[in-house]
Structure 1
């Protein structure tokens, strides 16, 4: 996940929402467990929020400049697919800055 070192240039905040116990949120929970430390250490100024709520569908939110936010539903995705979704959200932020 070398790409995570540039995350702070395009994203102002990362937010994961998931259920503490539902099977639909399993991959999101595992992704956060395995990758939080690396992402946070490479981007210490970017808030990385984890919100747990019983029964909620797993989601990934990215906040960009000017308060613009994007959401991706993570239901049914694998950890590798969640990683790609986070990369896609980072690229959206990069392209918005280029305009």
Structure 2
């Protein structure tokens, strides 16, 4: 799972919106339990916003790319590992940050 360490090289931020109670968000909640701590450990400077919102019936993952565009994946009914697979797919299809942008991002952390 070395690709997880690349998340901060590819994205400016991640957002996971889900329902705290709805069955369609069960996989998203399980994903957070299983994988969130590793993602944050390997990408401490990457903002990863997690928002439980009961009005949401269809959970989704949104990533903001380095060019300012957003990419969204629906997570309705997926298992935790499938949610992780969606994140991996986003990571593999996105272009990494250029070296100048990466240095700026690291300077913000320090």
Q: TM-score, normalised by structure 1?
A: 0.89
Q: Does the alignment pair 1:70 with 2:71?
A: yes
Kindly provide the CA deviation profile for residues 59-82 of structure 1, in whole angstroms up to 9, marking residues without a partner as x.
Answer: 000111121100000001111111
The 2-side partners of 1:61 and 1:39 are apart by 15
Residue 108 of structure 2 corresponds to none
Q: TM-score, normalised by structure 2?
A: 0.81
The 1-side partners of 2:97 and 2:75 are apart by 23
The 2-side partners of 1:26 and 1:84 are apart by 16
- Whose radius of gyration is greater, 1 or 2? 2
Aligned-pair distance for 1:17?
0.2
Give secondary structure in 1 for the equivalent of 2:94: helix
Q: Does the alignment pair 1:49 with 2:49?
A: yes
Residue 107 of structure 2 corresponds to none
User: What value does the CA root-mean-square deviation take over the aligned residues?
Assistant: 1.6
The 2-side partners of 1:59 and 1:88 are apart by 14
Give secondary structure in 1 for the equivalent of 2:46: coil
Is residue 40–residue 46 contact of structure 2 (8 Å, CA) maintained in 1?
yes
Uncovered stretches (5+) of structure 1, i.e. residues with no partner: none
After TM superposition, the runs of 4+ consecutive aligned structure 1 residues lying more than 2 A away are 94-97
Is residue 26–residue 77 contact of structure 2 (8 Å, CA) maintained in 1?
no
Aligned-pair distance for 1:92?
2.3
Residue 59 of structure 2 corresponds to 58
